[in-house]
Chain A
């Protein structure tokens, strides 16, 4: 009554449906770059070349991924994440890039984000 479980396999077209559109495809290639660099398969430049991703595409992917992580980090709060929350996080990100940011840098960053908040 039960068919032999080795009689067939999981058909390729079943998985084909999962591959998705061009944007999803690019995201998958960027993820491969990220993983390969992390695992020391390739240098960053070689990984970009292997997966045919440009430097700009990869940076865009990293930015979008960070944004998603910010959103996920706030999931479960009753109030939605606001642009203001994002800007506060960006401020910390930029300033933490410098080990000892000067007053000039701090003021510049604050001014820049203040302007961005006003435009937003």
Chain B
């Protein structure tokens, strides 16, 4: 049962939107009838838009000397979507490019935050910016009552690190492919343990959509397998145990 109850009390105003535009954000919603302020009031109450965008701008602006594009997009028909994007003109340069996108969706199933993509210039990697951004995001997700965070874990080690961050794998086909890779790449005894986790989960729920891939990520031999994997994951923020583990992981708090 989706929670979708905002814990934040904030209501975005026209004045606040002006301050976002002063940061360089542009509003993009071709053909929209509702203003952005009314759209947010109706669909994502609790969102601290100006605070969030200022945090994003302060974090990303120093990362690129190239022209930056900052967009607040929205779709006022069901499913209702709010898209925040921030990217440099060389976003497709794997070394120097900056590209960030988050989509908030509200539909009959509840509210979802999709981590579409996030890449930063090489000089700024592994300095803690990813952690800071995740903390900024998580605060707003709780403010607006997001039920689920979704991520596409792939390549560049993503398949491993997002498993470590307690995202669950939602597509059995993808999990089965990873299991097949493990069979080829691991010693028999280690693979046996990997298989036991898989069997225990899918025997109980053959069509399960929340495989605890975190358990695999902590078996030593699985690091290399998961680094080359590709899977779709999510975190259910209504699952208090998972939320605790995720926030513990993100914040490093004990």
Interface residues of A (CB under 8 A from B): 1-3, 5-20, 24, 27-29, 31-32, 35-36, 39-42, 46, 49-52, 64, 68
Contacts and interface: CB of A to CB of B under 8 A. Distances in A.
Contacts of A46: 193
B6 interface: no
B25 interface: no
Given A9-B152, A28-B249, A29-B218, A14 B99 contact: no
Contact of A5 (B91, B114, B128, B153): B114
Given A3-B87, A17-B128, A50 B117 contact: no
Given A1-B71, A8-B99, A10-B115, A15 B129 contact: no
B200 A68 contact: no
Interface string B115-151: 1111110000111111101100000000000000001
Interface of B: 26, 28, 69, 71, 73, 83, 85, 87, 91, 99, 101, 103, 114-120, 125-131, 133-134, 151-162, 164-165, 193, 196-197, 200-201, 212, 214-215, 218-220, 227, 245, 249-250, 252, 254
B220 A17 contact: no
5 contacts: A3-B99, A12-B159, A16-B157, A28-B164, A31-B245
Given A11-B118, A12-B159, 10 more contacts: A3-B87, A3-B99, A5-B103, A7-B99, A15-B161, A16-B157, A17-B127, A19-B161, A32-B215, A41-B196
Contact of B164 (A1, A2, A15, A51): A15
B162 A15 contact: yes
A50 B151 CA distance: 27
